[in-house]
Structure 1
């Protein structure tokens, strides 16, 4: 194909050509000039605002040897290769189709190798919010400690879906919607370069329909050019965008606010006959209502925002319509817009909407508050009805106050009050994942547990405030190389932590950063942990402590002054010898005591006979 779409031909190749994002482009240019570029960037914002274009321009600028005022030269071999997409050191990845762990691991492994031609290897990951949780975890370590000659540029339209651990390791730039006036100027420049004739009203309509996206504006412009044989007319723009003429929108609003139901229905029928997009019609109607409301407050702002499309008919309607009418119309339009998305009979909803809008009557309020003329008989009847209702309420209130006194004087007994039956509470979910706990206990050791206890304060500091509030009463009670068991003092915090996947991801990511590995984390309630340990020991053939002796450790009792009559807690699974070792030490007096002394030292273990 020899023809290319306008948004591809006129894609910005320099920061100066990236319109509407002057703050971002100036910041990037200053970073390039001073050599203070970061290893990772996050570009966020609505579609068509220049995120990917800025990433490609930055990849050229950081590798260009003829940089001038932060702008790439676009003439050297490196710049040309990046523009053509043939340079192997600039890799653009679509995360929507490459969102698995394996793809990100492949990136992580290849990032270790030096660039082949350019000075920096640049990875541009578009729609990065589509990555899975595992893929984000695989990318996390590389973002934290990237190779010297690697730069990551992440682009997304939904930054709220990206983990905070990823965002904190990048420099974030928020691309904003481009103003209609800026889009209009850019389209006028492009059409001037191409020598295409156009009508001002058509370009203004396209600039407004683009909703802040330059790519959308150029796509609509391209379509209008094809339809009009290289001529951009207002009627063609209306057909391409599916919009309704501004004059017809104002006529419809005049009809519904004036209660002209038949005329308004005829207008709707005319719009249906033209095959207009009804959702677009409702959106345009809402936008017109917004302009009317704002125009009543600040005329200059609306004239600038609407690119001068404010005629005498618009001004006249703004003087006759009331603010309350605008509020009611917008609310009704919003309701019907949600319904149009899930129906195939849109014409029915539009006709019902029209009848509803023509019967929105705010006049009685205006007459009562603003008019100096006397109200009619209907208004007086309404006042009489309201006064009668007030009198009835007053009489009922007196009877209610007197009734308890009569009962008390007659029987001298307080009236019985029927208490509502208590609401049965659903049993809390206290199930413990034994299938995950037992494998950890099989290889649990005291050294692993001590390691996690030492880093636990640092781990808590790495969490957010809300996550720290949940974990502040937690402590690791058993650990192996593959996992760690964490007990919670309060049951409701255990339940909250168990259902919070973001909390588990944050803990595993932080542990990976602190101790160099991300073990599986399993939560248990503190009151169930002793029983779980005891069951595990009995199933694996370990002896339980008898009632005549007690091993005092940091995992079983908190103080030597504990109640002597309280039954002892079984020792940690990681503190018990395997069955093979038990056979070798079977001649010793007490295997549990000796093993505790070996693990904790004789100065900690306190053996007491009851």
Structure 2
């Protein structure tokens, strides 16, 4: 296979090619020129930000035949050998597959031997946080006092997993996520050199989708080039990444602001039907609203926009929508983004978020100066009235003669408030009349999975219902018997969340009706007695001789009959 991915072909060959990490490359270059570089380095940061590339460049530069220099010449035998991996003195180790103590002992035994081809032997250990604790301990002494011809470069995406004893022996460099503008500039250089036509909007969208990783950006660009015909445009990138166009985002936000939930939901459904990623849609919405808010607050900050392009529709939307509405919409979408991580039905949560945003107030009245002045006048009047009442109270203070009984009354009110749940007996009787054993059995089968999902979604809601059990079920409602009466009241505060999770598990919505367990037993016995009286003949015919014999032996109290 002759073709190589863009991120491999365009891997940095000099420090100047390392994008967005000038604070690191400059420090390393100065240390090399002054011949004051350390024996151990730790390169940490997100994936695709240049850690391993910088490590190989460092190894090339200190071993270049023209050293000390700021950049490797890439012409001498040492530079070419390190670049193609033929120099045995520059060793790259994948710590994910070399985690044992034996692997580290092999390194420790080999560092004592002098390098054979280049001045310095360099060990580049990638994903070093995967090494076991015992292996780290075996590396400690060697890392602290290696021979003069050895340099260790440790690379990791999770520096918090590395022991402090290792960290203290290394110079640490933190690679930061690469800015979108730096990635676009680098990709522009690459596509021009490759002779490929890519629109500016497509490059901007690729940079946003890469989330700070240059390698991810080049991988997406490579995929978009393969998908497109002659030139890469915005639609090609959106198709590859699952993103949503600005025109669609503008229309959905306008519909939500104008309270046209019907049209907003239709457009959402069209996107999902076309295969767009729901999580990506929410992500794009948040970033688009962020750009809209930024532009509305300070139009001169257009250069900081990451998702949006300033066109006529964008400017009109920024002038129409209030800043407060944007902030509330972003807050609800952010909550939706957290919730869809733990569900198999993300579309449901997005629809709920859209309905909630569309039903919120537009806050136009609060921006009206006349309304504000009327509000201030009203508050001033109320404040003057309160001052008069306070003066009267000072002249005629109210003496509390019996504080103890008041405290007792307050405690009793608190107790009564906690146990004030009113049981809807008629609704429960109605459910019993329509109840089906198959429906209740189906719920029992999925009850454990429901409780597990509910705990992930909301721990407080799970706490209220964990000691309960399904008692009766129809096609529209479910009666749940709670062990403690107070949990019935607490359940009502979390009812929407509980019913939403249950609907996700069962595949259909059910209204949950809580009832204390002791009241359920009484109501059930009453219902059974009523049914027996209404059809005594049928009851006599249904008697089973085996059951009757069991009743004689053990009695009715402890006998429980199951189909």
Q: Matched residues in 1 for 2:112 and 2:277: separation?
A: 52
Q: Is residue 251 from structure 1 mapped to residue 251 from structure 2 by the alignment?
A: yes
Name the SS for the 1:166 alignment partner: helix
What does residue 46 of structure 2 align with?
46
TM-score (norm 2): 0.66
What does residue 312 of structure 1 align with?
312
CA drift at 1:368: 8.2
- Determine if contact 1:180/1:305 at 8 Å carries over to the other structure: no
Name the SS for the 1:153 alignment partner: strand
Q: Matched residues in 2 for 1:414 and 1:351: separation?
A: 49
CA drift at 1:101: 2.3
- Determine if contact 1:129/1:158 at 8 Å carries over to the other structure: yes
What does residue 100 of structure 1 align with?
100
What does residue 145 of structure 1 align with?
145
Q: Is residue 30 from structure 1 mapped to residue 19 from structure 2 by the alignment?
A: no
- Determine if contact 1:67/1:73 at 8 Å carries over to the other structure: no
What does residue 535 of structure 1 align with?
none
What does residue 124 of structure 2 align with?
124
What does residue 287 of structure 2 align with?
287
Q: Matched residues in 2 for 1:119 and 1:234: separation?
A: 49
What does residue 354 of structure 1 align with?
354
- Determine if contact 2:242/2:280 at 8 Å carries over to the other structure: yes
Q: Is residue 332 from structure 1 mapped to residue 304 from structure 2 by the alignment?
A: no
Q: Matched residues in 1 for 2:296 and 2:175: separation?
A: 31
Quickly say closer, same or farther: Cα 1:369–1:13, change in 2 above 3 A.
same
What does residue 363 of structure 2 align with?
363
Tell me the alpha carbon deviations over residues 73-121 of structure 1, each in whole angstroms, 9 at most, x when there is no partner.
Answer: 2122222221111221111111222222222222122212222222111
- Determine if contact 2:287/2:306 at 8 Å carries over to the other structure: no
What does residue 193 of structure 2 align with?
193
CA drift at 1:301: 2.5
CA drift at 1:270: 1.8
Q: Is residue 91 from structure 1 mapped to residue 91 from structure 2 by the alignment?
A: yes
Q: Matched residues in 2 for 1:21 and 1:255: separation?
A: 42
Counting only pairs closer than 5 Å after superposition, residues 133-282 of structure 1 correspond to structure 2 as: 133-282=133-282
- Determine if contact 2:41/2:154 at 8 Å carries over to the other structure: yes
Deviates more, 1:356-365 or 1:94-103: 356-365
Q: Matched residues in 1 for 2:408 and 2:20: separation?
A: 73
CA drift at 1:327: 2.1
Tell me the alpha carbon deviations over residues 375-407 of structure 1, each in whole angstroms, 9 at most, x when there is no partner.
Answer: 9xxxx9xxxxxxxxxxxxxxxxxxx9754x247
- Determine if contact 2:42/2:153 at 8 Å carries over to the other structure: yes
- Determine if contact 1:40/1:170 at 8 Å carries over to the other structure: yes
Q: Matched residues in 2 for 1:401 and 1:365: separation?
A: 42
Aligned residue-pair number: 409
What does residue 14 of structure 1 align with?
14
Quickly say closer, same or farther: Cα 1:258–1:65, change in 2 above 3 A.
same
CA drift at 1:374: 7.0
Name the SS for the 2:309 alignment partner: coil
Counting only pairs closer than 5 Å after superposition, residues 587-606 of structure 1 correspond to structure 2 as: none
CA drift at 1:418: 12
Q: Matched residues in 2 for 1:415 and 1:328: separation?
A: 41
Name the SS for the 2:118 alignment partner: coil
Q: Matched residues in 2 for 1:52 and 1:110: separation?
A: 22
Q: Matched residues in 1 for 2:207 and 2:55: separation?
A: 25
- Determine if contact 2:90/2:122 at 8 Å carries over to the other structure: yes
CA drift at 1:68: 6.8
Quickly say closer, same or farther: Cα 1:372–1:334, change in 2 above 3 A.
closer
Name the SS for the 1:155 alignment partner: strand
Q: Matched residues in 2 for 1:50 and 1:15: separation?
A: 10
Tell me the alpha carbon deviations over residues 521-580 of structure 1, each in whole angstroms, 9 at most, x when there is no partner.
Answer: xxxxxxxxxxxxxxxxxxxxxxxxxxxxxxxxxxxxxxxxxxxxxxxxxxxxxxxxxxxx
What does residue 2 of structure 2 align with?
2
Counting only pairs closer than 5 Å after superposition, residues 475-554 of structure 1 correspond to structure 2 as: none
Name the SS for the 1:42 alignment partner: strand
CA drift at 1:23: 2.3
- Determine if contact 2:34/2:68 at 8 Å carries over to the other structure: no
- Determine if contact 1:303/1:309 at 8 Å carries over to the other structure: no
Q: Matched residues in 1 for 2:108 and 2:365: separation?
A: 68
Counting only pairs closer than 5 Å after superposition, residues 556-595 of structure 1 correspond to structure 2 as: none
Deviates more, 1:295-304 or 1:10-19: 295-304
CA drift at 1:16: 1.6
Q: Matched residues in 2 for 1:370 and 1:148: separation?
A: 78
Quickly say closer, same or farther: Cα 1:325–1:85, change in 2 above 3 A.
same
Name the SS for the 2:297 alignment partner: coil
Q: Where do 5+ consecutive residues of structure 2 fail to align?
A: 379-396, 412-563
Quickly say closer, same or farther: Cα 1:92–1:109, change in 2 above 3 A.
same
Q: Matched residues in 1 for 2:125 and 2:279: separation?
A: 34
CA drift at 1:416: 9.0
Q: Matched residues in 1 for 2:32 and 2:290: separation?
A: 43
Deviates more, 1:280-289 or 1:335-344: 335-344
Q: Matched residues in 1 for 2:406 and 2:198: separation?
A: 87
- Determine if contact 1:89/1:120 at 8 Å carries over to the other structure: yes
What does residue 299 of structure 1 align with?
299
| Alpha-carbon RMSD | 3.7
